[in-house]
Amino acid sequence: MEEKKYEITYIIRPDIDDAAKTALVERFDKVVSDNNAKIIDSKDWSKRKFAYEIGGYNEGTYHIINLSTDSDEALNEFDRLAKINDDILRHMTIVREG
């Protein structure tokens, strides 16, 4: 399988403290890198208000990871762990062109 570029966007609940948010981001970056993916960059985008409430929250901090990989391991493991983590309200993975 050839290497593809992906973007994972996830929303972190707004009431998490900075130390816990940093630990969460580091943990999920490690999940990606430990599963045969190369992280191009990982950065906070911004805190934004939602159009509708998600899990009792009206806003959240968006975080984006750009990565490249030639397998689905990292994407599947990120998805599995994000679904059971209460600090991540939503997540989405898309394939990047180029």
**Domain positions in the chain:** 17-91
* Length of the chain measured in residues: 98
pTM of the predicted model as reported, rounded to 2 decimal places: 0.94
CATH for 17-91 is 3.30.70.60
pLDDT digits (tens, 9 = 90+) for 53-98: 999 999 999 999 999 999 999 999 999 999 999 999 999 999 998 6
Region 2-12 average pLDDT: 95
Query: How many whole angstroms separate alpha carbon 2 and alpha carbon 98?
Result: 12
Give the percent of the chain with pLDDT over 70.
98
Q: Give 72's contacts (C-beta < 8 A, 6+ positions apart).
A: none
pLDDT for res 98:
64
